[in-house]
Structure 1
Amino acid sequence: MAPVVWHVPVTVTGSTTALRLFRLRDGRRCAVGFATTEALTALLGPEQACTELAEPALRALAAPLGVDALVLDPRLVAPPVARPAREGAASTPAGPTGPTAAAVRTELQHR
C-alpha cells in the first residue's frame, strides 16, 4: 500500500523552503497537513506555498524542532474578529487607545 501524501504548508525564502508550524490552543507548536490542495487553499489562502510529504516524513522533519503534534485537515476554530462599532463614533476606524508608541518607548527608556 502506498503511503498517504499530505499537502504541507511551507515558507519559501529564496532557495530555502521551511516547514510552516502552527500553534494548538494550549500554545504547543504543531505541524499540519491537508488531504487536498483545495483544503489548504480554503484555510490558508491561495498564496500559501505547499509541498507534498508522507506522514512519516512530516513527523521526521518536525521532531528535531521539538514538535510532536500533527494536525491533519485542520479547520478554522474561530471566526474573524471584527472591531465593534462605538456609539456616536465617526465612520472611520478607531485608532488604538491609551498612550502612543512614542510615549511608551520614552517611558521604557527612563526605567
Structure 2
Amino acid sequence: MLALLIDWLLAGLIASVLTGRPMWAGGNDYSLMHTTAFFAMSAILVGLVGSTIGHRLCGLRVAPVRDSKTYDGSPGLLAGIIRSLLICLVIPAVVFDRERRGLHDLAAKTIVVRR
C-alpha cells in the first residue's frame, strides 16, 4: 500500500507540473493527467525495470511468474501495461487469491516479491 501511495503522489506531482495546477486544486484535466501519469510511469517502470519508484523505496519488485515458479527478470512491457491498466480500474487490485496476488497480478502473470 505504501509503494502505491508513493507512486500515486509522484504521478500527482508530474500532473501538477504538466497542467500547471497544484495537486489539491483538482479538476477534470488534472485528474485525467494524474491517472495518465500514474499509468505510464507504472507500466513502463514495472514492464522494463521490474519496479516502480515506490516499490524500490519499499524494498519490493514485480517479477514474472514462470512455470518453474522462478521469479527472475522483468515482467516485460505487455505485462506492465496489463497490470497498470487493471490497477487504474481499482477493483482488480483489491480482489486477491490465497497467495495474496491481486487480479492485476494474476492477469499479468506477475508477483510482488521482496528485493
If asked which structure has higher relative contact order (CA below 8 Å, sep 6+), I would say 1
Compute the TM-score of the two structures, normalised by the length of structure 2: 0.23
Query: Which structure dedicates a bigger proportion of its chain to strand?
Result: 1
Q: Given the two structures, how large is their TM-score scaled by the length of structure 1?
A: 0.24
Larger radius of gyration: 1
